[in-house]
Amino acid sequence: MSWKTVRRALKRLGASFRRARRVPAKVPDARREASFKKALEKARLLAECGTAECGTIDILHGDESGFCLVPVVPYLWQLKGQTLGLPAKSHHQRLNVLGFWREAGVEAAHLTHRLVVGRLKSRHFVQAVEEQVLPALARPTVLLVDNATLHRCAQVKQKLPNWKAAGLHLWFLPPYCPHLNLIEVLWKQCKYHWLQPSDYADFPTLCQAVSDALIQVNRKIPHYFCPTT
């Protein structure tokens, strides 16, 4: 049986060849999600996204993502109305990226990132905030982060009063709502579109490819990072 025959059979069953999505472990609380969205909309009005100079606040989307030598499997045959999810696996060699994406228009949007080989710890997050985020603040800033342990640990809690005094306010996303964090789009683009099969030849090659891709973000500022409400 040829592959063409198999494809025709799958199409007759209503299947299509599309991306398998990572899905949250649980369904988010609708009321909490709606409340957070309303607060974010008000923040965006204050930020007046789309202008470089205007706005009374800035909005940062903070998150971490990992890269290993096992490339993602972006597409699977799936029946109509069905979205398959793939389990995440741990890997020995791993490059982690801490990213902070400033939400704004094409001219003002900006990515700050830090690469960490190996396990991410709370000290990496604290160092990235204090060495890269705080010095770059131009006005009061809201930093959106999820509820990962390194964001809510004792070390971060001790720093919160000082960060608030410096103008940085942490907003924690509702559980199981990664879609509210704009930087997730960046991780998706990097893993599914920017990295090439040859970039997975070995770990140093992968690290260099990820670094190069993230550096290019601020030079090109793709349109898909502009916020939509």
Task: Choose among 21, 28, 19, 2: nearest CA to 176.
Answer: 28
For position 217, what pLDDT does the model report? 85
Say what the pLDDT of residue 229 is.
44
Q: Model confidence over 9-40: pLDDT tens digits?
A: 777 877 776 655 556 667 888 999 999 999 99
Per-residue pLDDT tens digits for 163-175: 999 999 999 999 9
**Model confidence over 100-121: pLDDT tens digits?**
999 875 456 689 999 999 999 9
- What global pTM score does this model have? 0.78
Burial of 210 (0-12, 13-18, 19+ CB in 10 A): buried
Domain annotation for the chain: domains and CATH numbers = 24-73+91-225 (3.30.420.10)
Burial grade of 105 (CB within 10 A; 0-12, 13-18, 19 or more): middle
Whether pLDDT at 226 is above 60: no
The residue among 181, 156, 159, 186 whose CA lies nearest residue 59 is 181
Look-up: residue for tokens 């916020």?
Answer: 227
The pLDDT tens digits for 134-155 are 999 989 999 999 999 999 999 9
The predicted pLDDT at position 81 comes to 75
CA distance 175 to 28: 6
